Amino acid sequence: MAFAIDEINRNPNLLPNVTLGYSLYDNCLKLGIGLRAAFSLASGQEEKVVLDETCVGTPPILGIVGDSSSTSSIPISTVYGLYRVPLVRAMIQILSHFGWTWIGLLVSDDDYGLHAAQSFQSDLVQTGGGCLAYVEVLPWSNDQAELRRIVDVMRKSTARVVIVFAHESHMINLIEEVGKQNVTGLQWMASEAWTAAAVLQTPQLMPYMGGTLGIAIRQGEIPGFRDFLLQIRPDLQHNNSYGNSIVNQFWEDTFQCRFAPPPTGWEEAGGALCTGNEDLENVETEFLDMSNLRPEYNVYKAVYSLAYALDDMLQCEPGRGPFSGHSCSNLQRLEPWQV
């Protein structure tokens, strides 16, 4: 998001004389924190800002780029009246294409899985695309007894097609049990959450997982993104602030050093001190891997979608606008719904 907005602000042909800003929230993998951030933005309780001498107050929120996790995005988008699960329709189209009408469905025990199960069953009935042989909810913990029961249901069922809306961690536990019971000959269909999971693409699992069909976020390239990331440096003056502490922690883990003051005995044991000038180009880190940008590419496109919508509105001609009475909007009275 930071990269996309920086790129837009430097583009003289997109939103000239307008500078975009942003707020970033870390949901800490907790739904409540993500919702709190969304409510804060929607209710105008976001922290006050001073942009210059003539612009003081609550920053105008024109749009929210949601969480990469559906568990957080579904309830947040419900708040904003945007709830929908387009993934399910794609799955049904695949089933229809191959003529598969007798299906097993496994889902995770959260909004991601439960909403998918509800929508999938509803859409399946509407399209007349088939029937569900069973619906099972995968446990969050590695509950061996429950996993044995679920795999036993799969093994005894005559349904050979199994659709799974779940997370990578669920699949690891499930497939271990599939291997123990030696359940082969299933046609797996993967939701985006585990389609590209490298941990499941091993020779040991190929007898069980080979031929899996999956839905994936479109991969894309973001020119200049790697150079942008290489400019990141820790802030030694504000180490205690939340954002900087995350960067500093990443820095320490990447370069195996510690910022001053280091833990007791660190230097005595031969540990190095971080300077903040270490070169990211000289280390192997997933942070700089540009080969598989999927959720990142979605964020990039989402920011540009908002920017182009705003740019289009600002070029609106009075009497030819998209709103009531063919009116236009402007920056002073712009509403998010108009974007």
Residues 108 and 180 in one domain: yes
pLDDT given for residue 124 in this prediction: 83
Residues 108 and 163 in one domain: yes
Residues 112 and 174 in one domain: yes
CATH number at residue 199: 3.40.50.2300
| Prediction pTM value | 0.73
Tell me if 309 is assigned to some domain: no
Tell me if 77 is assigned to some domain: no
pLDDT given for residue 74 in this prediction: 67
Number of domains the chain is built from: 2
Domain boundary among 279, 294, 321: 279
Tell me if 157 is assigned to some domain: yes
Residues 144 and 194 in one domain: yes
Tell me if 308 is assigned to some domain: no
Write out the residue range of the structural domain in which residue 170 sits: 86-214
Tell me if 180 is assigned to some domain: yes
Domain boundary among 258, 279, 300: 279
pLDDT given for residue 44 in this prediction: 60
Residues 193 and 271 in one domain: no
Residues 269 and 152 in one domain: no
Tell me if 73 is assigned to some domain: no
pLDDT given for residue 83 in this prediction: 35
Q: Per residue of the chain (339 residues), what is the pLDDT tens digit?
A: 999 999 999 999 999 988 898 877 777 777 788 778 777 766 665 555 555 555 555 556 777 787 766 666 766 766 665 433 334 577 888 888 899 999 999 999 887 888 888 888 888 878 777 899 999 999 988 899 999 999 999 999 999 999 999 988 889 999 999 999 999 999 999 988 888 888 888 899 999 999 999 988 888 999 999 999 998 888 777 655 555 678 888 899 999 999 988 899 999 999 999 998 899 988 888 888 888 888 899 899 989 999 999 999 889 998 999 888 999 988 777 777 788
Residues 94 and 209 in one domain: yes
pLDDT given for residue 86 in this prediction: 39
Tell me if 48 is assigned to some domain: no
Residues 198 and 261 in one domain: no
Residues 119 and 201 in one domain: yes
3-state secondary structure the chain: CHHHHHHHHCCCCCCCCCCCCCCCCCCCCCHHHHHHHHHHHHHCCCCCEEEECCEEECCCCCCCCCCCCHHHHHHHHHHCCCCCCHHHHHHHHHHHHHCCCEEEEEEECCHHHHHHHHHHHHHHHHHCCCEEEEEEEECCCCCHHHHHHHHHHHHHCCCCEEEEECCHHHHHHHHHHHHHCCCCCCEEEECHHHHCCHHHCCCCCHHHHCCCEECCCCCCCCCCHHHHHHCCCCCHHHCCCHHHHHHHHHHHHHHCEECCCCCCCCCCCCCEECCCCCCHHHCCCHHHCCCCCCHHHHHHHHHHHHHHHHHHHHCCCCCCCCCHHHCCCCHHHCCCCCC
Tell me if 7 is assigned to some domain: no
Residues 185 and 270 in one domain: no
